[in-house]
Structure 1
């Protein structure tokens, strides 16, 4: 699949199964990630890959964070949180590693990590995989951040769930006119 086709046909898919990207495909996907725009070559990202039993451990991190955020969480809520990482055979946490820099503000570093995440999603699609970028309270939870070895300044920009789609998502025609303006001064 060429680059333009990958960009205009990628669509999130929540229903994922095996196979996930193998070692060689994962290497290509990560090579695409680190080609993201990066002002001053800060490399403001970190990627953590979860597969197999590591997904269960990630689920326990999510569960413990929910308990801390919501002491009244029901067992059903805790079970759902614990099971989230089991919805795909591979998850990649994308973390923006923020550092003070005289030329590169925090927002640029977060955007760079977001661009790296997008490159992961498009590269996975180009290789025949599917995925969905998930965020929510878990991404902004200091307990999750700490459990993944991120500093207080770092920001999780998403958990990328990857695998093979169980059901091909419908690709609707996306209008561009409402979002594009040709400025003429």
Structure 2
């Protein structure tokens, strides 16, 4: 499958089976995902592998952050991969660009996992920035949690739902001319 095909056929899998890639499989895919564009090669990211009881501990931390019972959300997949932006001091690379690198690694990894036959869903939530959840992940002061990739087997009975192909013309504009201060408006910019 080409990179184009992988991107075009990607979908989120909200329900997965109890199968999951091995640690070794994961390391192999991360070595490829880590090759995203990275100004100054800062590698401002890290990933945390959560399996088994780790998911229960995360559920307790989410419950604490929400002042409720332990969350069962982390039990919806056998493997969770926490995506962490690990900011580095740099006079050339601003914080937002470092966070974009971490997000790029996560998205590339999700494409590679999907191509390898695994179902993936990138889950976020307001509690990703909570102290209880950060503590459960052992985050340092220079780190922020961007969410988790929920990974498991693709159910056989589930037929793949295809996202509608976007109208790329609606999202692509030209640089404004000298006469005009505004860029050429897209034909229409649909949401979703």
Fold match (TM-score > 0.5) = yes
Question: Is 1:142–1:152's contact at 8 Å kept on the other side of the alignment?
Answer: no
Q: Identify which range, 101-110 or 164-173, moves more after superposition.
A: 164-173
Q: Which runs of 5+ in 2 are unaligned?
A: 178-192
Conservation of the 8 A alpha-carbon contact between 2:123 and 2:147: yes
Separation in structure 2 between the aligned mates of residue 56 and residue 147 of structure 1, nearest angstrom:
11
Instruction: Number of aligned residue pairs: give it.
Output: 174
Per-residue CA deviations over 1:135-182 (Å, capped at 9, x if unaligned) read 111211122112211123311111110112232331033122221224
Cα RMSD for the two superposed structures: 1.7
Matched, 1:97 2:89: no
Q: How does 1:1-185 map to 2 (within 5 A)?
A: 1-67=1-67, 73=68, 78-79=69-70, 81=71, 83-166=72-155, 167-175=158-166, 176-183=168-175, 185=177
Question: Quick check: which one's helix share is greater?
Answer: 1
TM, length-normalised to structure 1: 0.86
Distance 2:175 2:159 in 1: 38
Bigger relative contact order, structure 1 or 2 (CA pairs below 8 A, ≥6 apart): 1
Q: Which has the larger radius of gyration?
A: 2
* Structure 1 residue ranges without an equivalent (≥5): 68-72
